[in-house]
């Protein structure tokens, strides 16, 4: 067992972080780099989960993609903000990335190993391989993830006085490169982005597509337990067979859309549908089936997916699967700085807070780690401006979302406060201009936030008013209050 030296300090001077996923690792990095002694608890391999395959920290259990890296997207903007905040997760991802067109994808094994190595190099961090079954009494961050153990989930339910919500998340199969038939398949990124060999494409004619959809709907799936039957899926990660049941054309306009791709083996007639496989490791030997997360039985997966042109002899390094996720109704149980209202010594982070996606989870870990580091140094926690991706995400899961309809959500520009009307222009901004304006405004505000020294008494009093204000629900009122916290310099721009 890898373990750094323990710190024999009073409980209140040590930050305990429960969960070694992306959020926990990012939180540990942010706090430890600010000279806070950190104990990081990870239950694997002492106790396994249904989805993890290793005991490594920051294991990517689903896709190897951190999604779009373009600043014109909400997630790409979040990437850039995290880079500017010295994010461990983004730094490692950039170092071990694999070709993926306009997306940021990584070699998952190298990613996990590098995150763990960099954390264990910190002299004030201790890694304990043990299951935590009770909420800590001192300063702590719980980032136990969507696969939180039943014991700890029960502790959280008791502490919050509310039930947890659950949804299912499915995993896509991974295929070996050598087993793909390139007399039918070809390499190409959609619209020729990236290197040109970022994706493998398997075409289907109209007849092949409709036969595939019919077989997909009829295939045998994993049976639910009684306690799982009323659990919903997360809309952003639906099993492909569930999507197929929504309509015969759903897949052709979704994960199997053919646009932006040209089959070099026979460009005419054009493919009616295309299955894409994305590189999954740095060696380029493994490719995952994009959008093909599934709960089909393993035998059905091999039978059905080998009917796809180019995958007739596919060898599967991993078949798809299904696991249940857990998240809190955060707008009810968390305050504006991610603390449990019923147990303020605990901050929550990661997917369990109701954010969805690798980087969104890590971003909340980044904030939780920074908040505790500031508080433990006697300073007021400094929340990011609402105009930033970090601030918009934080606001959504704490005060901005409606409690009755709260569901996990990826970062998107719909969470940001509206842009002011364009000066000197009668027409509205186009979609591309609007996205660029969101990014420009966000990065400007982020720069002010990063350089802010929020330590004087006046700012402390403003923070306390902000922290205790439960009535702020509109974007404008929250933004005004945040601007009061971060100082007069933000009133312009």
Quick check: helix, strand or coil at residue 140?
Answer: strand
Distances (CA, A) of 28 to 13, 21, 103, 228: 14, 11, 26, 33
Taking residues 261-283, what's their average pLDDT?
A: 86
pLDDT of residue 232: 54
Q: Give pLDDT tens digits for 220-258.
A: 887 655 444 555 555 556 789 989 999 999 999 999 999
pLDDT of residue 235: 57
Taking residues 176-193, what's their average pLDDT?
A: 91
Across all residues in the chain, what is the average pLDDT?
82
Judged against a pLDDT cut of 90, whether residue 370 lies above it is answered with: yes
pLDDT of residue 405: 57
Residues 6+ positions from 413 with CB-CB distance below 8 Å: 74, 434, 435, 438
Paired tokens of 70? 């373009």
Taking residues 418-433, what's their average pLDDT?
A: 77
Residues 6+ positions from 13 with CB-CB distance below 8 Å: 37, 376
What's the CA gap between 224 and 468, in Å, rounded?
42
Taking residues 270-288, what's their average pLDDT?
A: 85
pLDDT of residue 317: 76
Higher-confidence position of 271 and 356? 271
Q: Give pLDDT tens digits for 49-80.
A: 766 677 789 999 878 999 999 999 999 999 99
pLDDT of residue 363: 98
What's the CA gap between 44 and 27, in Å, rounded?
18
Quick check: helix, strand or coil at residue 264?
Answer: coil
pLDDT of residue 237: 67
What's the CA gap between 152 and 214, in Å, rounded?
42
Distances (CA, A) of 259 to 256, 276, 290, 422, 448: 9, 12, 15, 33, 41
Higher-confidence position of 327 and 446? 446
Categorize the per-residue pLDDT at 272 as very low, low, confident or very high, splitting at 50, 70 and 90.
very high
pTM for the full model? 0.67
Lowest mean pLDDT among 1-15, 94-108, 134-148: 1-15
Domains and CATH numbers, the chain: 11-164+328-491 (3.50.50.60), 170-324 (2.40.30.260)
Categorize the per-residue pLDDT at 487 as very low, low, confident or very high, splitting at 50, 70 and 90.
very low
The percentage of residues in the chain with a pLDDT greater than 90, rounded to a whole number, is 52
Nearest to 216 by CA among 279, 276, 314, 293: 293
Nearest to 216 by CA among 294, 276, 287, 275: 294
How crowded is residue 399: how many other Cβ atoms within 10 Å of its Cβ?
Answer: 20
∠ CA(326), CA(351), CA(466), 5° rounding? 115
Q: Give pLDDT tens digits for 394-412.
A: 998 998 776 765 767 788 8
Lowest mean pLDDT among 77-81, 131-135, 271-275, 453-457: 453-457
Lowest mean pLDDT among 110-124, 135-149, 177-191: 135-149
What's the CA gap between 412 and 388, in Å, rounded?
11
Query: Phi first, then psi: what are they for 426, rounded to 5°?
Result: -85, -30
Check: CB of residue 302 under 8 Å from CB of residue 176. no
Higher-confidence position of 453 and 413? 413
Paired tokens of 313? 């002899």
Categorize the per-residue pLDDT at 282 as very low, low, confident or very high, splitting at 50, 70 and 90.
low
- CB-side neighbour CA atoms (13 Å) of 87: 29
Quick check: helix, strand or coil at residue 2?
Answer: coil
Categorize the per-residue pLDDT at 32 as very low, low, confident or very high, splitting at 50, 70 and 90.
very high
Q: How close are the terminal C-alpha atoms of the chain, in Å?
A: 51
């Amino acid at each position: 067992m890898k373990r750094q030296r323990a710190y024999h300090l009073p409980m209140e001077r040590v930050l305990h972080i429960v969960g070694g996923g992306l959020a926990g690792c990012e939180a540990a990095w942010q706090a430890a780099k600010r000279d806070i002694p950190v104990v990081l608890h990870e239950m694997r391999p002492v106790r396994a989960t249904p989805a993890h395959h290793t005991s490594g920290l920051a294991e990517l259990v689903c896709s190897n993609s951190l999604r779009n890296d373009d600043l014109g997207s909400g997630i790409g903007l979040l990437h850039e903000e995290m880079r500017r905040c010295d994010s461990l997760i983004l730094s490692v991802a950039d170092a071990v990335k694999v070709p993926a067109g306009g997306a940021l994808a990584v070699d998952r094994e190298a990613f996990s190993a590098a995150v763990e190595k960099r954390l264990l190099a910190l002299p004030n961090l201790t890694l304990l391989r043990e299951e935590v079954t009770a909420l800590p009494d001192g300063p702590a961050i719980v980032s136990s993830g969507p696969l939180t153990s039943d014991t700890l989930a029960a502790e959280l339910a008791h502490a919050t006085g509310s039930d947890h919500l659950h949804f299912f998340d499915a995993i896509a199969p991974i295929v070996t490169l050598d087993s793909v038939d390139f007399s039918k398949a070809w390499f190409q990124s959609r619209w020729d982005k990236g290197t040109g060999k970022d994706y493998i494409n398997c075409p289907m004619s109209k007849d092949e597509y409709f036969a595939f959809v019919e077989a997909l709907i009829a295939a045998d799936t994993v049976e639910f337990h009684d306690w799982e039957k009323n659990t919903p899926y997360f809309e952003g990660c639906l099993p492909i067979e569930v999507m197929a049941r929504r309509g015969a054309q759903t897949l052709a306009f979704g994960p199997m859309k053919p646009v932006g791709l040209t089959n070099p083996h026979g460009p005419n007639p054009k493919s009616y549908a295309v299955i894409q496989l994305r590189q999954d490791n740095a060696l380029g030997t493994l490719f995952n089936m994009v959008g093909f997360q599934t709960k089909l039985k393993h035998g059905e997966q091999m039978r059905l997916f080998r009917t796809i042109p180019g995958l007739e002899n596919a060898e599967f390094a991993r078949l798809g699967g299904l696991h249940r996720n857990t998240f809190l109704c955060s707008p009810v149980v968390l305050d504006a700085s991610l603390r449990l209202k019923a147990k303020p010594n605990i901050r929550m982070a990661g997917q369990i807070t109701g954010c969805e996606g690798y980087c969104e989870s890590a971003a909340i870990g980044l904030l939780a780690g920074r908040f505790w580091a500031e508080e433990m140094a006697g300073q007021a926690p400094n929340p990011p401006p609402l105009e930033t991706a970090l601030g918009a995400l934080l606001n959504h899961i704490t005060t901005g979302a409606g409690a009755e309809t709260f569901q996990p959500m990826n970062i998107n520009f719909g969470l940001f406060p509206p842009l002011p009307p364009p000066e000197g222009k009668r027409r509205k901004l186009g979609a591309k201009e609007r996205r660029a304006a969101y990014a420009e405004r966000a990065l400007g505000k982020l720069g002010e936030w990063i350089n802010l020294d929020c330590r004087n008494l006046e700012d402390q009093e403003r923070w306390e008013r902000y922290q205790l204000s439960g009535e702020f629900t509109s974007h404008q009122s929250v933004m005004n209050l945040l601007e009061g916290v971060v100082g007069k310099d933000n009133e312009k721009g």
